[in-house]
A and B are shown apart, each in its own frame.
Chain A
Amino acid sequence: MDAKISREEVRHVANLARLDLSEAEQERMTGQMNGILSYMEKLNELDTTGISAMTHAIELQNVFRPDRVCPSLDRKEALQNAPGSDGINFVVPKVI
């Protein structure tokens, strides 16, 4: 079986996904993703030339609404689940 994804690529994808994987997790993930992605090869049995891609289960049209202020969460409620907050803002580690 051709490897679909290398250990190096797994590290790269984990970085894109903002996940830290241990050496053992990387090893396992590489094996499992190779198994799963090889199975996906099955789709290449189908010629899909000219078939449009389906993005939704039903026909959807853009939904407009009036640009009107409606009741929304107040600040206290919006902050109540925050791991870090000063009562007015979300607080995170220094960025710059």
Chain B
Amino acid sequence: MTLHSLSMHEIHDLLLARKAGAVEVVSAFLQRMEAVEPKVNAYISTLGERALDEAKLFDEGKKDFASSALAGVPIAIKDVICVRGIRTTCGSRILENFVPPYDATVARKLDDAGMILIGKTNMDEFAMGSSTENSAFAKTRNPWNLECVPGGSSGGSAAAVAADLCAGSLGTDTGGSIRQPASFCGVVGMKPTYGRVSRFGLVAFASSLDQIGPITKDVEDAAMLLQTIAGHDPRDSTSVNLPVPDYRSTLRDSIRGLRLGIPREYFIEGTAPEVVSAVRKAIDTYRELGASLVDISLPHTEYGIAAYYIIAPAEASSNLARYDGVKYGHRVEGAKDLMEMYRRSRSEGFGAEVKRRIMLGTYVLSAGYYDAYYKKASQVRTLIRKDFLDAFEKCDAIVAPVSPIPAFRIGEKAEDPLQMYLSDVFTLPASLAGIPGISVVCGFTSERLPIGLQILGPHFREEVVLRVAHQFEQATPFHREKPPIG
């Protein structure tokens, strides 16, 4: 077994036992990058030298592997999270040369835990997209099939984990942007409850939905990485001051008798038969593990897409108003006045999908349309949230597909934004409700593309979601499969 293919906890065990050094581990990933990164394009920036310098501190005894559960382990971060002194682009020309003067709280926490940053990963511009094709810099490819997209918007983070270009990574999820790429790339991706992880230093897309979470090779890693980043932060007043349980310690607790809800609205026509069949088999596995299965209904599921694609662009149009070429970001040359500077800087700096969402958001918030669109969507959001609250009266967690389709071909949906939006049907409702969710691999198509199983839990019950995911993972062989690349 080569070092780069190990999980984070396996790497940490080796480091602790002195069976590998930190420089050796980082070097293994840098070599892997040399061979594989040109094919996958998972990264916007790689940080080899910086990572080796960090690693040396461990090998020279200036830092201690025992200082945390993940000390000395290499990690990648989506390029929408600020790291002091490291270019942070959000996949956009408008921030091409932006170097944050401060750390995001999650970046600080990873650093405090002694994790070693080895790169900033590619993404759809400002996290707007489901395929990573909207990056201004490169198209990331799916390690399982280089002709296919890795999903999005955290496509770089998911592809990097799947291709063993990092031990684990952070992504962000606004409407499925962690779970869907994790599903497309056959890795684990978890969106925590809204408010569980600080958003301080995360460049805002839709502030009532954005959440940072782990993308990893197994569920134990996801539990450990979530543990590292979770918790209240006075600098994010939407982060919640609740105790953070020890996620790793309950992964193995029995799920016998646990009630798993199967939502009938997630098994609709239009879902690929291979996806339905893999998820049905996963449900059988849960039956064998002793869980009790409950039919549930989430009646407003089909309205999630319309509600989300009003609310998220509305918030985005407001958040992205800050890109005006004044304090940071791209400024056009030779503008005669301020208005021209704003307009031309923004028009040059933003890509097509970002412009489309700014336009949609501005429209639905504009005078005369606010009630018909934004207010209506916010009321429907209440109904979608209530669907989940009612369902969790009858079950402890929900099991469903992540995406109605496996990874699609690069370019296949690029020309039709509505078709791209419709593929988010199974991830958007949980985002609107703010509940936690995870994707774990539950099979492969006949073309060897991974299929994701989605597990959703009540607000702030990440430990249930992780436990349900872990037991499936350990009972099945899928997570051990590696893409044919190298």
Contacts and interface: CB of A to CB of B under 8 A. Distances in A.
A18 B342 CA distance: 6
B74 interface: no
A88 interface: no
Interface string A68-93: 00000100011011111000001011
Contacts of A90: 326-327
Interface string A13-47: 11011111100010001001101110110111110
A48 B376 contact: yes
Contact of B382 (A13, A33, A36, A52): A52
A42 B306 contact: yes
Given A18-B343, A58-B434, A33 B379 contact: no
B102 A73 contact: yes
Given A17-B358, A36-B417, A94-B337, A48 B379 contact: yes
Contacts of B341: 92-93
Interface stretch (B106-114, B234-242, B471-479): B234-242
Interface string A52-64: 1111111010010
A8 to B, nearest CB: 13
B102 to A, nearest CB: 7
A1 interface: no
Given A52-B379, A55-B378, A83-B325, A60 B238 contact: yes
A54 B379 contact: yes
Nearest to B339: A18
A63 B381 CA distance: 24
B421 A36 contact: yes
Chain B interface size range = 35 or more
A95 B326 CA distance: 13
B11 interface: no
A53 B382 contact: yes
A83 B324 CA distance: 11
Contact of B362 (A17, A21, A56): A17
B331 interface: yes
B327 A82 contact: yes
Consensus secondary structure, chain B interface: helix
Given A39-B306, A82-B326, A19 B359 contact: yes
B377 interface: yes
Contact of B381 (A40, A54, A95): A54
B7 to A, nearest CB: 30
A64 to B, nearest CB: 9
Contacts of B325: 83
A92 B306 CA distance: 40
Contacts of B380: 43, 46, 48
Contact of B101 (A46, A55, A60, A73): A73
B418 A39 contact: yes
B303 interface: yes
B166 to A, nearest CB: 27
Interface in B305-356: 305-307, 309-310, 317, 321, 324-331, 335-344, 346-347, 350, 355-356
A46 B240 CA distance: 32
B194 interface: yes
Contacts of A54: 378-379, 381-382, 385
B175 interface: no
Contacts of B379: 48, 51-54
A80 B262 CA distance: 52
A81 B328 contact: yes
B250 interface: no
B470 to A, nearest CB: 25
13 contacts: A9-B363, A13-B359, A18-B339, A19-B343, A19-B358, A25-B355, A33-B360, A36-B421, A43-B380, A54-B382, A81-B98, A81-B327, A90-B326
Interface of A: 5, 9-10, 13-14, 16-21, 25, 29, 32-33, 35-37, 39-40, 42-46, 48, 51-58, 60, 63, 65, 73, 77-78, 80-84, 90, 92-95
Interface of B: 97-99, 101-102, 193-195, 208-209, 234, 237-238, 240, 300, 302-303, 305-307, 309-310, 317, 321, 324-331, 335-344, 346-347, 350, 355-356, 358-360, 362-363, 366, 373, 375-383, 385, 417-418, 421, 432-434, 459
Which 10 A-B pairs rank lowest in CB-CB distance, beginning with the nearest? A57-B434, A83-B331, A81-B328, A53-B378, A57-B194, A48-B379, A77-B101, A63-B237, A54-B382, A54-B381
